Amino acid sequence: MGVVNVTPDSFSDGGRWFEPEAAIAHGIRLLDEGADVLDIGGESTRPGAQRVPLEEELRRVIPVIRELAAGDAVVSVDTMRAEVADAALAAGAALVNDVSGGMADPSMAGLVAEAGVPYIVVHWRAPSAEMESRAVYADVVAEVRAELQARLEALAEVGVRPEQVALDPGLGFAKNSPHNWALLAGLDALHGLGRPLVLGASRKRFLGALLAGPDGEPAPVEDRDFATSAISAFAAGAGVWCVRVHEVRPSADAVRVVEAIGACRQGAAEPEAPGGAP
């Protein structure tokens, strides 16, 4: 899943794809690099970010979604608002990616149930402006699993079928670095929920902290893509359904390597390169 942030304040690339033409061109580049899905968002969810007005979120994302979907891209809308999701689906989006898991807008679950589209439910405890204070856990893996289970049950009560749902543990959302690493190490417990898993580790602060220089300063966001592709390889080996990344090619290559090794383990022939090249 390639990320297209149509925002001026995203932590990773704020402003680079803010104009519709730039966002569309970026989406096409990510497709060319191997993205299966484009995730279009018009509201930053970085720690401390403030909400944008509904009309502004619509203005940012709908033209981009319409153009990319018209070119046969599989498009996901990254939004916490049912009205934005509804307009995005009408413009050609095929999935809804809700970082609040339906908690920010009580209307979202009903919309998704009626539309019958795939719905990515992210573990969430509070809006971006408050989430860092909610990063308190006795056992982060067990608690995230229990809270995602509760969301599945709540969504089912309003008609969202379990087979519509993919689950995301929400790395960085009300989690600090140790919490994020523990969740990656505990993916088996999340697989126990029986739904496909999505991971969004790309360029996040816990990778910057891991890659800090001798002075202790975190690695800048543009220097975190190699670490992101390592997470993508790990995720593929761990049976994760999808990774959400800012730079697609390194992660797509990493996933292909894991796929090739897995095929050989199962006794299949080594996969051919595109065009039949060895």
Residues tagged active-site: 204, 244
How far is residue 8's CA from residue 5's CA, in Å, rounded to a whole number? 8
Going along the chain, which residue ranges are E strands?
2-5, 38-41, 75-78, 95-98, 119-122, 165-168, 198-199, 242-243
AA identity, residue 212: A
Going along 219-264, which residue ranges are E strands?
242-243
Residue in 110, 114, 65, 109 with CA at minimum distance from that of residue 90:
65
Residue in 71, 80, 136 with CA at minimum distance from that of residue 108:
80
How far is residue 235's CA from residue 187's CA, in Å, rounded to a whole number? 9
What is the number of alpha carbons within 13 Å of residue 13 lying toward its C-beta?
Answer: 22
Residues 85, 88, 94, 95, CA torsion sign: negative
- Mode of pairing for the β-strands spanning 165-168 and 119-122: parallel
E strand or H helix that includes residue 255: helix 248-265
The answer to whether 166 and 241 have CB atoms below 8 angstroms apart is: yes
SS3 at position 244:
coil
